[in-house]
Amino acid sequence: MTAVVSASEAVRLLREGAVIAIPTDTVYGLAASLNHPTAIARLFALKRRPSTAPVPVLVGSLEVVNSLGVVWPELARRLSDAFWPGALTIVVPAPRGLASAVGSSLDTVGFRLPDDALLLEVLRACGPLAVSSANEHGDLPCQSADDVIDAFEGRGGVDAVLDGGERTGSVSTVIEIAGTSWRVLREGSISAEALGRVLASPPKEGPSSRS
């Protein structure tokens, strides 16, 4: 039987290389620490996700992105200032080792700072996490801890579930930044129109106030 754990226990397990189901500001996700490649491989296997379909990285602050050796482009800065924390995944160039760790062959990684107090508590305690929606690849995402247990129990199950109640948000919007160009890879909670307005606005001076 899959254990339902507290936030502190979830942090401990993630640090040890477990795969945990966690609530996000959209739906439930499967999470693994970037420090444990084997756990990330298990995440792919649990979801039956193709190894060529990279998973995003959730962070507790923009400083964490910088600490991973990623140079945050100006267009990405405008977006993170406007929409983070929130349901926007921003795909940018990243070091090859980091990209390959999350299944990307294009030397890019998607990053997101979620708008959820419980998840931010976990992220700030254990560091960045590879996270993908809690479901078999192609199925609808799980919206509760019970959904997660039902979906994965028969296939070995996740190591534990952090129960944050029901989560019924829309999936995050995914946008890719390449130099001065951009394209929406998936439209979700945030519209392409809203992104376009921010990206077309004059750049602000000074450091981000939301990092």
Tens digits of residue pLDDT in 156-207? 779 999 999 999 888 899 999 999 999 999 999 999 999 999 999 876 665 5
- What pLDDT is attached to residue 211? 46
Domain boundary assignment for the chain = 3-200
Pairwise CA distance, residues 149 & 193, whole Å? 37
- What pLDDT is attached to residue 201? 81
Residue 154: helix, strand or coil by DSSP?
helix
The residue type at 132: S
CATH for the 3-200 domain, from 3.90.870.10, 3.40.50.1820, 3.40.50.410, 3.40.50.10320: 3.90.870.10
Task: Flag whether pLDDT at 1 surpasses 80.
Answer: no
Pairwise CA distance, residues 4 & 15, whole Å? 17
- Looking at the chain, the whole-number percentage of residues with pLDDT higher than 70 is 95
DSSP H helices, 36-189, are 37-47, 62-67, 74-83, 96-101, 117-126, 145-152
Q: What is the mean pLDDT of residues 22-36?
A: 96
Determine phi and psi for 52, rounding to 5 degrees.
-90, 0
For 134-161, the pLDDT digits (tens) are 998 888 899 999 999 998 886 677 999 9
**Helix or strand (DSSP H, E) at 21:** strand 20-23
Pairwise CA distance, residues 119 & 103, whole Å? 23
The residue type at 20: I
